Amino acid sequence: MASLGYIGLGVMGGRMADRLLTKGHAVTGYNRTREKAQWLVNRGLTLADSPRAVSAAADVTFVMVANSAALESVANGPDGFIAGLAPGKIVVDMSTVSPALSRAVAAKVREQGARMVDAPVSGSVATLEQGKLAIMVGGDRVTFDKVKPILDDIGPKVTYVGGNGLAVSMKIATNISVAVQILAFAEGVLLAEKSGIARDVAVDVLTHSVVGSPLLQYRGPFVLQMPDEAWFNVNMMQKDVQLALEMGRQLGVPLPTTAATNEWLTAARAMGLAEKDFAAVFQALARVSGVQP
Protein backbone atom coordinates (compact mmCIF):
# COMPACT_ATOMS: atom_id res chain seq x y z
CA MET A 1 0.00 0.00 0.00
CA ALA A 2 1.46 3.35 -1.07
CA SER A 3 2.45 5.87 1.58
CA LEU A 4 0.25 8.94 1.28
CA GLY A 5 0.56 12.63 2.00
CA TYR A 6 -2.17 15.22 2.46
CA ILE A 7 -1.57 18.98 2.30
CA GLY A 8 -4.50 21.12 3.44
CA LEU A 9 -6.45 19.55 6.29
CA GLY A 10 -9.44 21.88 6.37
CA VAL A 11 -13.16 21.10 6.40
CA MET A 12 -13.04 18.79 3.38
CA GLY A 13 -9.35 17.88 3.20
CA GLY A 14 -9.25 16.80 6.82
CA ARG A 15 -12.25 14.53 6.39
CA MET A 16 -10.76 12.99 3.25
CA ALA A 17 -7.50 12.32 5.09
CA ASP A 18 -9.56 10.70 7.83
CA ARG A 19 -11.23 8.40 5.29
CA LEU A 20 -7.81 7.38 4.01
CA LEU A 21 -6.66 6.63 7.56
CA THR A 22 -9.82 4.60 8.13
CA LYS A 23 -9.01 2.56 5.01
CA GLY A 24 -5.65 1.65 6.51
CA HIS A 25 -3.36 4.04 4.65
CA ALA A 26 -0.35 5.63 6.33
CA VAL A 27 -0.79 9.39 5.90
CA THR A 28 1.66 12.23 6.49
CA GLY A 29 -0.07 15.60 6.56
CA TYR A 30 0.53 19.33 6.61
CA ASN A 31 -1.80 22.15 7.59
CA ARG A 32 -0.95 25.83 7.90
CA THR A 33 -2.68 25.89 11.30
CA ARG A 34 -1.29 22.84 13.06
CA GLU A 35 -3.84 22.88 15.87
CA LYS A 36 -6.69 22.22 13.44
CA ALA A 37 -5.04 18.94 12.45
CA GLN A 38 -4.62 17.59 15.99
CA TRP A 39 -7.74 15.43 15.74
CA LEU A 40 -6.15 13.65 12.77
CA VAL A 41 -2.89 13.16 14.68
CA ASN A 42 -5.01 11.47 17.34
CA ARG A 43 -6.37 9.23 14.55
CA GLY A 44 -2.86 8.21 13.43
CA LEU A 45 -1.76 10.90 10.98
CA THR A 46 1.88 12.01 11.08
CA LEU A 47 2.05 15.80 11.01
CA ALA A 48 4.92 17.32 8.99
CA ASP A 49 6.40 20.81 9.24
CA SER A 50 6.18 21.74 5.56
CA PRO A 51 4.61 20.72 2.25
CA ARG A 52 8.08 19.62 1.11
CA ALA A 53 8.35 17.22 4.03
CA VAL A 54 5.01 15.69 3.06
CA SER A 55 5.88 15.06 -0.59
CA ALA A 56 9.33 13.77 0.38
CA ALA A 57 7.75 11.18 2.68
CA ALA A 58 4.86 10.13 0.42
CA ASP A 59 4.51 8.14 -2.79
CA VAL A 60 1.26 9.97 -3.54
CA THR A 61 0.65 13.47 -2.20
CA PHE A 62 -2.85 14.92 -2.07
CA VAL A 63 -3.37 18.67 -2.00
CA MET A 64 -6.57 20.53 -1.14
CA VAL A 65 -6.19 24.25 -0.54
CA ALA A 66 -8.52 27.22 -0.79
CA ASN A 67 -7.52 29.03 -3.98
CA SER A 68 -4.88 29.68 -6.63
CA ALA A 69 -2.68 31.78 -4.32
CA ALA A 70 -2.73 29.03 -1.69
CA LEU A 71 -1.76 26.40 -4.26
CA GLU A 72 1.19 28.47 -5.45
CA SER A 73 2.24 28.97 -1.83
CA VAL A 74 2.32 25.26 -0.95
CA ALA A 75 3.75 24.20 -4.33
CA ASN A 76 6.65 26.59 -4.86
CA GLY A 77 9.76 27.64 -2.98
CA PRO A 78 12.24 25.69 -0.88
CA ASP A 79 9.51 24.36 1.42
CA GLY A 80 6.94 23.71 -1.33
CA PHE A 81 5.83 20.21 -2.27
CA ILE A 82 7.51 20.41 -5.69
CA ALA A 83 10.90 20.57 -3.95
CA GLY A 84 10.19 17.27 -2.18
CA LEU A 85 9.29 15.32 -5.32
CA ALA A 86 11.37 12.64 -7.01
CA PRO A 87 10.90 10.50 -10.13
CA GLY A 88 7.89 8.21 -9.86
CA LYS A 89 6.02 10.21 -7.26
CA ILE A 90 2.49 11.47 -7.88
CA VAL A 91 0.62 14.62 -6.84
CA VAL A 92 -3.19 14.60 -6.71
CA ASP A 93 -4.41 18.19 -6.51
CA MET A 94 -8.00 18.34 -5.30
CA SER A 95 -8.12 22.16 -5.11
CA THR A 96 -10.41 24.25 -7.30
CA VAL A 97 -8.12 26.74 -9.04
CA SER A 98 -7.75 28.20 -12.49
CA PRO A 99 -7.17 25.52 -15.15
CA ALA A 100 -4.15 27.47 -16.44
CA LEU A 101 -2.49 27.40 -13.02
CA SER A 102 -3.26 23.70 -12.60
CA ARG A 103 -1.52 22.94 -15.89
CA ALA A 104 1.44 25.17 -14.94
CA VAL A 105 1.94 23.37 -11.63
CA ALA A 106 1.62 20.00 -13.39
CA ALA A 107 4.38 21.06 -15.78
CA LYS A 108 6.69 21.92 -12.86
CA VAL A 109 5.89 18.56 -11.26
CA ARG A 110 6.89 16.79 -14.50
CA GLU A 111 10.24 18.61 -14.41
CA GLN A 112 10.96 16.63 -11.22
CA GLY A 113 10.19 13.36 -12.97
CA ALA A 114 6.89 13.12 -11.09
CA ARG A 115 3.29 13.31 -12.34
CA MET A 116 0.25 15.32 -11.27
CA VAL A 117 -3.47 14.95 -11.80
CA ASP A 118 -6.14 17.49 -10.89
CA ALA A 119 -8.93 15.77 -8.98
CA PRO A 120 -11.51 18.20 -7.59
CA VAL A 121 -14.66 16.86 -6.00
CA SER A 122 -18.38 17.46 -6.33
CA GLY A 123 -20.14 17.30 -3.01
CA SER A 124 -19.95 18.58 0.53
CA VAL A 125 -19.30 17.45 4.07
CA ALA A 126 -22.61 15.55 4.06
CA THR A 127 -21.86 13.87 0.74
CA LEU A 128 -18.39 12.88 1.88
CA GLU A 129 -19.57 11.49 5.21
CA GLN A 130 -22.33 9.51 3.46
CA GLY A 131 -19.76 8.00 1.07
CA LYS A 132 -21.34 9.65 -1.99
CA LEU A 133 -18.60 12.06 -3.09
CA ALA A 134 -17.93 12.34 -6.83
CA ILE A 135 -14.37 12.92 -8.03
CA MET A 136 -13.34 14.08 -11.50
CA VAL A 137 -9.75 13.59 -12.66
CA GLY A 138 -7.58 15.30 -15.27
CA GLY A 139 -4.10 14.17 -16.32
CA ASP A 140 -2.48 11.34 -18.24
CA ARG A 141 -4.41 8.08 -18.24
CA VAL A 142 -1.59 5.96 -16.81
CA THR A 143 -1.34 8.15 -13.72
CA PHE A 144 -5.11 8.11 -13.34
CA ASP A 145 -5.12 4.32 -13.38
CA LYS A 146 -2.48 4.30 -10.62
CA VAL A 147 -4.34 6.63 -8.28
CA LYS A 148 -7.90 5.49 -8.94
CA PRO A 149 -7.87 2.72 -6.29
CA ILE A 150 -6.87 5.32 -3.68
CA LEU A 151 -9.50 7.77 -4.89
CA ASP A 152 -12.07 4.97 -4.64
CA ASP A 153 -11.36 4.97 -0.89
CA ILE A 154 -12.51 8.61 -0.73
CA GLY A 155 -15.59 8.50 -2.97
CA PRO A 156 -17.49 5.92 -5.04
CA LYS A 157 -17.68 7.90 -8.29
CA VAL A 158 -14.31 8.60 -9.92
CA THR A 159 -14.43 9.83 -13.52
CA TYR A 160 -11.55 10.44 -15.90
CA VAL A 161 -12.34 13.56 -17.96
CA GLY A 162 -9.14 14.13 -19.98
CA GLY A 163 -5.82 15.94 -19.75
CA ASN A 164 -4.40 18.20 -17.05
CA GLY A 165 -6.67 21.09 -16.15
CA LEU A 166 -9.85 19.57 -17.58
CA ALA A 167 -11.08 18.19 -14.27
CA VAL A 168 -10.76 21.66 -12.75
CA SER A 169 -12.68 23.04 -15.73
CA MET A 170 -15.40 20.43 -15.14
CA LYS A 171 -15.55 21.28 -11.43
CA ILE A 172 -15.97 24.99 -12.18
CA ALA A 173 -18.74 24.16 -14.67
CA THR A 174 -20.41 22.06 -11.97
CA ASN A 175 -20.17 24.64 -9.21
CA ILE A 176 -21.94 27.40 -11.10
CA SER A 177 -25.08 25.23 -10.96
CA VAL A 178 -24.57 24.80 -7.23
CA ALA A 179 -24.46 28.56 -6.66
CA VAL A 180 -27.35 29.34 -9.00
CA GLN A 181 -29.57 26.63 -7.47
CA ILE A 182 -29.14 28.02 -3.98
CA LEU A 183 -30.03 31.55 -5.11
CA ALA A 184 -33.13 30.32 -6.96
CA PHE A 185 -34.11 28.29 -3.89
CA ALA A 186 -33.75 31.38 -1.69
CA GLU A 187 -36.00 33.31 -4.06
CA GLY A 188 -38.64 30.57 -3.91
CA VAL A 189 -38.58 30.34 -0.12
CA LEU A 190 -38.92 34.10 0.29
CA LEU A 191 -41.71 34.35 -2.29
CA ALA A 192 -43.64 31.65 -0.43
CA GLU A 193 -42.91 33.18 2.97
CA LYS A 194 -44.05 36.68 2.01
CA SER A 195 -47.24 35.22 0.58
CA GLY A 196 -48.06 33.79 4.01
CA ILE A 197 -46.49 30.31 4.03
CA ALA A 198 -44.28 29.39 6.99
CA ARG A 199 -40.61 29.24 6.07
CA ASP A 200 -40.10 25.71 7.35
CA VAL A 201 -43.11 24.53 5.35
CA ALA A 202 -41.76 26.18 2.19
CA VAL A 203 -38.37 24.54 2.71
CA ASP A 204 -39.98 21.14 3.26
CA VAL A 205 -42.15 21.40 0.13
CA LEU A 206 -39.37 22.66 -2.13
CA THR A 207 -36.76 20.14 -1.00
CA HIS A 208 -39.21 17.28 -1.58
CA SER A 209 -40.60 18.57 -4.86
CA VAL A 210 -39.39 18.05 -8.41
CA VAL A 211 -36.74 20.77 -7.84
CA GLY A 212 -35.40 19.00 -4.74
CA SER A 213 -31.95 18.05 -6.01
CA PRO A 214 -29.47 16.31 -3.69
CA LEU A 215 -27.86 19.72 -3.21
CA LEU A 216 -31.08 21.34 -2.02
CA GLN A 217 -31.98 18.38 0.17
CA TYR A 218 -28.83 18.70 2.27
CA ARG A 219 -28.21 22.45 1.99
CA GLY A 220 -31.74 23.85 1.71
CA PRO A 221 -32.37 23.47 5.46
CA PHE A 222 -29.51 25.92 6.06
CA VAL A 223 -31.99 28.75 5.48
CA LEU A 224 -33.61 27.57 8.73
CA GLN A 225 -30.42 26.88 10.69
CA MET A 226 -26.94 27.72 9.45
CA PRO A 227 -24.14 25.31 10.44
CA ASP A 228 -21.70 26.45 13.12
CA GLU A 229 -18.84 25.85 10.69
CA ALA A 230 -19.31 26.80 7.05
CA TRP A 231 -19.10 23.81 4.75
CA PHE A 232 -18.17 26.13 1.86
CA ASN A 233 -18.22 29.82 2.65
CA VAL A 234 -19.29 32.83 0.58
CA ASN A 235 -15.69 33.76 -0.27
CA MET A 236 -14.94 30.26 -1.54
CA MET A 237 -18.07 30.06 -3.66
CA GLN A 238 -17.48 33.49 -5.16
CA LYS A 239 -13.95 32.41 -6.04
CA ASP A 240 -15.38 29.50 -8.05
CA VAL A 241 -18.07 31.67 -9.65
CA GLN A 242 -15.48 34.21 -10.73
CA LEU A 243 -13.30 31.45 -12.18
CA ALA A 244 -16.34 30.43 -14.22
CA LEU A 245 -16.98 33.98 -15.40
CA GLU A 246 -13.36 34.27 -16.50
CA MET A 247 -13.63 30.97 -18.39
CA GLY A 248 -16.84 32.21 -19.98
CA ARG A 249 -15.11 35.35 -21.23
CA GLN A 250 -12.18 33.34 -22.59
CA LEU A 251 -14.36 30.73 -24.31
CA GLY A 252 -17.15 33.00 -25.50
CA VAL A 253 -19.86 31.40 -23.36
CA PRO A 254 -22.38 33.85 -21.82
CA LEU A 255 -23.13 33.00 -18.18
CA PRO A 256 -26.06 35.28 -17.28
CA THR A 257 -27.38 33.44 -14.22
CA THR A 258 -23.84 32.98 -12.94
CA ALA A 259 -23.20 36.72 -13.26
CA ALA A 260 -26.39 37.54 -11.32
CA THR A 261 -25.45 35.06 -8.59
CA ASN A 262 -22.01 36.64 -8.34
CA GLU A 263 -23.65 39.97 -7.47
CA TRP A 264 -25.63 38.38 -4.63
CA LEU A 265 -22.45 36.79 -3.29
CA THR A 266 -20.94 40.29 -3.32
CA ALA A 267 -24.00 41.57 -1.46
CA ALA A 268 -23.59 38.82 1.15
CA ARG A 269 -19.95 39.82 1.69
CA ALA A 270 -20.97 43.48 2.02
CA MET A 271 -23.40 42.45 4.77
CA GLY A 272 -20.63 40.76 6.75
CA LEU A 273 -21.49 37.20 5.72
CA ALA A 274 -18.26 36.32 3.88
CA GLU A 275 -17.24 33.54 6.29
CA LYS A 276 -20.73 32.04 6.52
CA ASP A 277 -21.76 29.08 4.39
CA PHE A 278 -22.66 30.38 0.94
CA ALA A 279 -26.30 29.52 1.64
CA ALA A 280 -26.10 32.94 3.35
CA VAL A 281 -27.22 34.43 0.03
CA PHE A 282 -30.66 33.68 1.47
CA GLN A 283 -29.94 36.05 4.36
CA ALA A 284 -28.80 38.76 1.95
CA LEU A 285 -31.91 38.39 -0.19
CA ALA A 286 -34.14 38.27 2.90
CA ARG A 287 -32.79 41.56 4.21
CA VAL A 288 -33.43 43.27 0.88
CA SER A 289 -36.92 41.74 0.85
CA GLY A 290 -37.74 43.15 4.28
CA VAL A 291 -37.84 39.69 5.88
CA GLN A 292 -36.09 38.78 9.11
CA PRO A 293 -33.32 36.33 8.07
Tell me what percent of the residues of the chain surpass a pLDDT of 90: 95
Distance CA 71, CA 96 (A): 9
Mean per-residue pLDDT for 15-43?
A: 96
At residue 123 the predicted structure's pLDDT band, cuts being 50, 70 and 90, is confident
Q: Which of 237, 245, 229 is nearest to 269 (CA)?
A: 237
* pLDDT value of residue 130: 86
Q: What is the 3-state secondary structure (H, E, C) of 210-222?
A: CCCCHHHHHHHHH
Tell me what percent of the residues of the chain surpass a pLDDT of 70: 100
| pTM confidence score | 0.92
Q: Say if residues 238 and 262 touch (Cβ distance below 8 Å).
A: yes
Q: Which domains does the chain have, with CATH numbers?
A: 4-162 (3.40.50.720), 169-288 (1.10.1040.10)
Distance CA 277, CA 28 (A): 29
pLDDT tens track for 239-287: 999 999 999 999 999 999 999 999 999 999 999 999 999 999 999 999 9
* pLDDT value of residue 127: 86
Chain CA centroid to CA 238, Å: 12
Residues in the chain: 293
Q: Say if residues 166 and 159 touch (Cβ distance below 8 Å).
A: no
171 classed as catalytic: yes
Helices (H) and strands (E) in the chain, counts: 13, 9
Selecting among 89, 148, 171, 194, the annotated active-site residue is: 171
* pLDDT value of residue 126: 84
Mean per-residue pLDDT for 213-238?
A: 94
